[in-house]
Amino acid sequence: MLNDSTLRGMRQSSLTQAGLTQRSPEPVSSSRLQTIAPRSVTTIAGKSDSTLRLHAQTTTARGSSFFIFHREEPKMTEPISYRRANADDVLTVCKLGQILNAVHHRARPDIYANATPEFARDETHWISSLRGEDRAVFLAEQDSTAVGFITVQVMQPTSPLLQPMTVGRIGSVAVSERLRGRGVGSTLMKLAEQWARENGANDVRLTVWAFNEQAVGLYRELGYELRAFEMGKQLPIAGNMPVA
């Protein structure tokens, strides 16, 4: 019986007599590698948001194709923190407020001023929300950068026509576009509601334009109901009024 060593020797001898030499496979040069577009694979087990990116390369060596995979670890996202703002944060609120300026001006330029890089222009508007025990502003921050805010205050209507109650009123809510859909707006709303409740409110209200569909959707998801319509009508300038 022939063993493996003898068989290998016989094969090599036959190749030599035929003028052939058995060689090891040649290394594959990088120029022969073809890159395939990265593919994202979402892992559901454990953490639904964990993503594994595989960069695949393929090559052909002596008729055989094979893949080379490079593992790319998902980048960690900085957590979002929340805190109550103070008067020193007024310019931060002014800057984030440009988000609201742009949205409102785009829909109603006849009423609202446009956003501006000179956001200190709006300081007189926002400073009152940062002062007083009956009002508060909460900031959302990521990596020491403000990415959202909300204003809220409590009030006690004194009209004899109304039931006695303390009402919380949401003023403005803004979230940076890159973080929308991450629950920042919902968390800010819940913080404002909690603060209003702790300050005696048993009802919370807000006003929102009909064109702001994204905000309307958020408020509905949080349980807010439609209670009233605010209606308006533009009047002609006095000098341009038609003569009867």
Per-residue pLDDT of the chain (244 residues; tens, 9 = 90+): 545 555 455 555 544 454 544 444 445 444 433 333 333 333 323 333 333 333 434 444 445 444 444 444 444 578 999 999 999 999 999 999 999 999 999 999 999 999 999 999 999 999 999 999 999 999 999 999 999 999 999 999 889 999 999 999 999 999 999 999 899 999 999 999 999 999 999 999 999 999 999 999 999 999 999 999 999 999 998 877 666 5
For residue 237, the model assigns a pLDDT of 86
* CATH topology assigned to domain 80-221: Aminopeptidase (3.40.630)
User: Measuring CA to CA, which residue among 179, 171, 101, 103 is closest to residue 141?
Assistant: 179
Q: Which of 94, 78, 103 is nearest to 182 (CA)?
A: 78
For the purposes of burial, counting CB atoms within 10 Å of the CB of 137, is it exposed (0-12), middle (13-18) or buried (19 or more)? buried
Domain coordinates of the chain in residue numbers?
Answer: 28-76, 80-221
Give which of 165, 148, 146 is closest to 156, Cα–Cα.
165
**What letter represents residue 216's amino acid?**
V
The predicted structure's pLDDT at residue 5:
55
DSSP category for residue 49: T
Look-up: residue for tokens 């990265």? Answer: 38
Cα gap 207→48, rounded to integer Å? 36
Determine the Cα–Cα distance for residues 213 and 102; give it in Å rounded to an integer.
Answer: 15
